[in-house]
């Protein structure tokens, strides 16, 4: 869950509704995520390859962990709850994601915040290519990504300013000697 969301920053609704074979398709060159226009907030088809380094993890999850959760039940839903039923958008998926981020990252983070994190991280780490954030689901224009870019630039500016005005602490002796 974390790795897929960290690399593709889907909206909560789309993340929760992923179905194997429909939204997550295995193609000769790896997995692809695809959502029809009617399923997207911006009403535009969204299709993007899943990073190659996640293929083994997704395969392992589907073939082992998900199979155990399914317990022989037939479901195309990628995310299954412990009872084998598809996780719901309003409770299971968000709660599971938050528990998982708390366990692995030391802090609870929701799906929505992870989208901001990806855009801001991109702006900090690769500002020359920040417009790639506009390709995030429902970022139909650069305006949405621009807020993260501005925040990242402000963060960088404040860090540089802090270094500039930092006065090294000198150890003083009693009486100024």
Q: Give SS3 for 135.
A: helix
- HSE at residue 9, side-chain half, CA atoms within 13 A, is 20
pLDDT computed for residue 117 by the predictor: 63
> Quick check: 110 and 11 in contact, CB under 8 A?
no
> Which residues 6+ apart lie within 8 Å of 89 measured at CB?
12, 13, 16, 17
Segments in the chain below pLDDT 50: 130-135, 137-153, 155, 157-161, 164-167, 169-177
% of the chain exceeding 70 in pLDDT: 63
In the DSSP assignment, the letter for residue 17 is: T
% of the chain exceeding 90 in pLDDT: 38
Sheet holding 24-27, edge to edge: 24-27, 30-35, 46-49
């Amino acid at each position: 869950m974390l790795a897929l969301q960290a690399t593709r920053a889907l909206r909560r609704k789309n993340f929760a509704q992923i179905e194997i074979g429909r939204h997550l398709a295995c193609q000769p060159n790896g997995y692809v995520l695809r959502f029809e226009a009617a399923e997207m907030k911006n009403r535009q088809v969204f299709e993007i390859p899943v990073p190659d380094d996640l293929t083994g993890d997704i395969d392992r999850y589907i073939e082992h962990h998900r199979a155990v959760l399914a317990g022989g039940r037939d479901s195309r839903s990628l995310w299954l709850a412990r009872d084998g039923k598809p996780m719901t958008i309003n409770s299971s998926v968000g709660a599971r994601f938050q528990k998982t981020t708390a366990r692995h990252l030391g802090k609870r983070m929701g799906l929505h915040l992870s989208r901001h994190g990806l855009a801001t991280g991109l702006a900090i780490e690769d500002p020359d290519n920040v417009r790639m954030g506009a390709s995030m689901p429902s970022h139909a224009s650069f305006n949405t990504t621009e807020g993260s870019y501005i925040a990242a630039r402000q963060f960088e500016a404040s860090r540089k300013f802090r270094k500039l005005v930092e006065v090294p602490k000198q150890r003083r002796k009693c009486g100024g000697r």
